[in-house]
Structures are given as structure tokens and as C-alpha cells.
Amino acid sequence: MFLLERRAPRGSTHEGDRNRTTMKWPKAFVRIPADDPWATCPVEELARKYDAVENHGWYRNLEPTLDELRSVVTDGDIVIDYSAGTGILVEQFLKRNPSQQVGFVLVDASPKFLRLALDKLGADERTAFRWIQYLKEEKRLQMLDEVLPAPLLKEGAAALCSTNAIHLYYDLLDTLRAWGRVLKPGATALIQSGNINNPNAAEGTWIIDETVDQLQPLAIDLVRNNDKYESFRASLDDAKRMTAYDKLRAKYFLPVRPLSYYVDTFREAGFDVVNVYEHSIGALVADWTDFLSAYHEGVLGWAGGCQRIDKTEPSDEAVTLRQELLRDSLAALFNHQPDFLANWTYITCRKPLDS
């Protein structure tokens, strides 16, 4: 366990504070790149469905990060929300601290999610948005300092948050080094994930990818023995096809990495790791099912198929039945109990003052 030097909150959040400053972005900085195609496309249903997880009880996993962030920022600071998704973290921070004059740059690789975040938060002058693009020729995503414009890079960010996402990063070391190039000396990076293999996790708690892997044999058993799912049985005897779907699932849900990997990589990237802790959060099985249903193709794609593997779209009936199989498999996994404990790991890092 690492010890965090707690700082008192800087800047009042009381309404009517006459000493409050107004958030000012760097000169020539554009909050919303209106010429980018993602900024004008329609909001898609997938993004809205993902955004609904904010209402799930297990999304209390953001509360420790929100509390810590409030303790390390002051008016006029710039915060990077890396892998911001649909803007849930920023939305909750601004609701908690309505008069806090902190600027948030929401950065994400999904134009669909970023578009919904813009729809929700774009009218607030404290928010800005940037899309991380995939560079086909180099076969990689842009680094953070390649996305942010020069005025903001010169100013530097006082903090960076990455919530529910770091387990998805392939090139973690390069990503963290890019964070370091954007952050000011002494700046804080707040990271958390429900998909870290933490040896200190309480017994009986779960992480997301663990449920995805362990429901597979239960789903197969249901297909073999429940006539409701008879139409999926032929898939089970096609070893080549099942292997293809195993590989697809591994792309949606990357192999779980140990806590030591993240701590060591942060240090290699030049950060001081000042606090690591875990937290158990109660979750409803129904909410977990709803969340995974947004990724049903990756979870149980072999049941009904998908365009990516079978070169044909599944019927609406097949997708509906696949969703039912997902629900029944998770119910069996949790012994038909309504809830369970999920584990989240939190890592607080700081860029050295002399860097």
C-alpha cells in the first residue's frame, strides 16, 4: 500500500463566492473543433445505451476519483479526462461542484461516444473536446500530445483522469509517457479500473472480464441442454468458428493484467506512484447484464453470429435470443442472486516536480 499525501481542497464551491475566478482557456485554444466530422454527426443509439450505465449502482466506482480530483484542483486548472467516453465523469464533477472554474478536456478514441459527450456538455464553457484518431499507416492511435493543440501543451494540465479504461490500452508505456509530456510538474494522474488483477481484492469480489470468461461454459451448457437455445447448437460443433469467436472476445475484453504491471509501468514512464487501493462496490446482476448487453457480439457472438466472423448479419430474432442467453448465463453464474460485489482498483500517481 502506498501513502497519498492528502491535500486540502483548493478553491471554494460555495455559491456567491466573490473571489471566484472565471475559467480562462489558453489564448487561441478552440474548445470544440467544429470542422471535425464527429462533431456534427448524429448521436447514435449505442452511445446512448452506454451512457445509461451512469444510472447503475456500480457506477459509484467514480466517487473516490471525484473526491480525489476535487482535492487536487483549483480554479483555472486544466484537467484531461482521458478515455472520457460519453462524459460521465465530467458531468458528475460539474454537478457536484457547479461553481468550480476548472477546464476539462474530454479526449476519446470513439467519435460516437465523444459526440454524445459534446451533446451533453458542449454548452458549458468549462469543457473542450478532442478525438484520438487511428493512424492507419502507423497502425496505432494518436498519442495525447499529438491530439492537443500547442496553446494547451504550453499551458500544461494540472491533472489527468482515466476511469474504467486503462485495462484497454495496448501500448500502455507510450501512452503514459505521452501523459507525462502534457502534465505540469507536480500534476496528479488518477486512474481506476474494474479489470485489474489485484491480489488485495476482497475474497468473493468480481471484475468485469472475469464474468465474461466464466459465463462461457455456462452459456454452452444452456445451449446444449435447453431447447430454447437449440438454434445455436450447431455452432458448438464447429471448432474453427468457436476459436474465431474466442479471438473476437479477446479483442473486446483484453486479457486481465496484474496490478504490478500497472505500477511498474507508471514508474517506468517517470511517474511517482503515491497511492494504490481497492474498493468493493455492490452491483445488481440486472445492471451488469444491461452493461454487457451493449457488447453482446463480443461476449456471446458465436450464438447467432456476426458480420465480422460469419460475413452476414444475424437476424433480429437471433440477437434477441442471444441477449436472453446472456441474461440466463449471468443468472446462473451468480447463483440466481440479485447482486454481487465488484472490485475496483485505484492508482494515484504524480509527475515529479523536477521533471
175 closest CA partner among 95, 245, 82, 278: 82
Task: Return the amino acid letter for 76.
Answer: G
Residue 50 is predicted with a pLDDT of 66
pLDDT of residue 57: 72
Amino acid in the structure at residue 297: E
**pLDDT score recorded for residue 208:** 85
Helix (H) or strand (E) holding 44: none
pLDDT at 18: 34
Strands 196-197 and 140-141: unpaired
Positions in the chain short of pLDDT 50 = 1-21
Write out the three cell numbers for 74: 483549483
Q: What is the pLDDT of residue 51?
A: 64
pLDDT at 225: 97
Q: 304, 296 in Cβ contact below 8 A?
A: no
Alpha carbon distance 191, 173 (integer Å) = 14
62/282 Cα distance (integer angstroms):
13
Residue 156 exposed, middle or buried by CB count within 10 Å (0-12, 13-18, 19+)? middle
Q: Which amino acid, one-letter code, is at 202?
A: A
pLDDT (0 to 100) of residue 47 = 67
- CATH code of the region 37-193: 3.40.50.150
Per-residue model confidence (pLDDT) at position 45: 73
pLDDT at 54: 62
Identify the sign of the CA torsion 69, 72, 74, 79.
negative
Give the model's pLDDT for residue 209: 86
Q: Are 61 and 194 in contact (CB under 8 A)?
A: yes
* pLDDT, position 95: 95
List of residues 6+ apart from 125 with CB closer than 8 A: 23, 31
235 C-beta neighbours (distance < 10 Å), count: 18
Closest CA to 348 of 63, 64, 145, 82: 64
Helix (H, G, I), strand (E, B) or coil at 24: coil
Domain map (residue ranges) of the chain: 37-193, 208-251+286-333
Distance CA 20, CA 86 (A): 29
The DSSP result for 65-79, as a single string, is HHHHHHHH--TT-EE
Radius of gyration, alpha carbons of the chain:
22
